[in-house]
A and B are shown apart, each in its own frame.
Chain A
């Protein structure tokens, strides 16, 4: 089983890296870019876990304890079942 954790800065938190990305894209002629927000993606491979709900609960705990800082960030968890190896 895999968990894909997406961590973004909360709305309203200044994201100077996102702004620099947007400026660079506009510099390349992509005038339609109104703004950019930069986040991060953490892919976790989970062993010994078969229940999606309990896996999600554990990953929630990981987010609270380490992966995200609730002062500035929010997170989104996707649990992906991986097909067993043949």
Chain B
């Protein structure tokens, strides 16, 4: 499986993502600096990693979403390549318009950092099929701005179309309808605040994240 991880100034989960992908797929992802304008041909997966791109200046993910690499990312997403935005990457995908809604400051104002139980709200998605019907996973969360908002019509549409992929069991940030992760209409772009790439080895405290990358691998 051919994959790429986009690296923005201030990304800090890019290597975690690369190590997770390499461990699960056996192939090293290409690390793509944000100033590039092209992505490698024939990709099966592109990851927008977690971190604090541009120091979260202006709005989280706002400046990264206007990077030189983003038009190429949008092109690949439109072609159906799997795209995963984790944490800051989720914020970036919302800012690019690839995913609807926005992520605001956590309702409780605190930075939350803990293992988080999640419901797999759509077990048949491109990102969850390998869990084979399992209903719950635990991924770590670590964010200050994870409070998902969208207008009511958008939320209804997300729920109605099975585009809510993960839901918090114990909402840590005030997200509308306990949403932790959503997909685009085509189902090939996933954004989520929790970190599956930080749960791929029992030494991490759990390896529930493996199934997410395994799902993409099996669909590739």
Residues of B close to A67: CB separation below 8 A: 58
Q: Which one, A14, A17, A20, A66, contacts B149 given CB within 8 A?
A: A14
A81 lies within 8 A of chain B by Cβ = no
A69 lies within 8 A of chain B by Cβ = yes
Report the minimum CB–CB distance from B83 to chain A (whole Å).
19
Q: A16 near B107 (CB under 8 angstroms)?
A: yes
Q: Which one, A16, A65, A69, A71, contacts B108 given CB within 8 A?
A: A16
A41 lies within 8 A of chain B by Cβ = no
Report the minimum CB–CB distance from A20 to chain B (whole Å).
6
Q: B149 near A13 (CB under 8 angstroms)?
A: yes
A80 lies within 8 A of chain B by Cβ = no
B2 lies within 8 A of chain A by Cβ = no
Residues of B close to A13: CB separation below 8 A: 104, 149
Q: A72 near B102 (CB under 8 angstroms)?
A: yes
Residues of A28-86 contacting chain B, CB below 8 A = 65-67, 69, 71-72
Inter-chain contact total with CB atoms closer than 8 Å: 39
Interface string of B148-182 (1 = CB under 8 A from A): 01110000000000000000000000100000000
Q: Which one, B59, B66, B147, B151, contacts A69 given CB within 8 A?
A: B59
Q: Which one, A9, A14, A66, contacts B107 given CB within 8 A?
A: A14
Q: B62 near A65 (CB under 8 angstroms)?
A: no
Interface size on B, residues (CB 8 A): 21
Of chain A, the residue at the smallest CB distance from B105 is: A16
Of chain A, the residue at the smallest CB distance from B106 is: A16
Q: B174 near A14 (CB under 8 angstroms)?
A: yes
Residues of A close to B174: CB separation below 8 A: 14, 16
Of chain B, the residue at the smallest CB distance from A13 is: B149
**Given contacts A16-B107, A17-B105, A17-B109, are A69 and B149 in contact (CB under 8 A)?**
no
Of chain A, the residue at the smallest CB distance from B176 is: A14
Residues of B close to A17: CB separation below 8 A: 105, 109
Q: A16 near B150 (CB under 8 angstroms)?
A: no
Q: A71 near B101 (CB under 8 angstroms)?
A: yes
Residues of A close to B95: CB separation below 8 A: 69
Q: List 8 A–B pairs whose Cβ atoms lie within 8 Å, in order of A's numbering.
A: A13-B149, A14-B107, A16-B104, A66-B62, A69-B95, A71-B149, A72-B104, A72-B149
Sort A-B residue pairs by CB-CB distance and give the 5 closest, nearest first. Answer: A71-B102, A72-B102, A16-B109, A16-B107, A16-B105
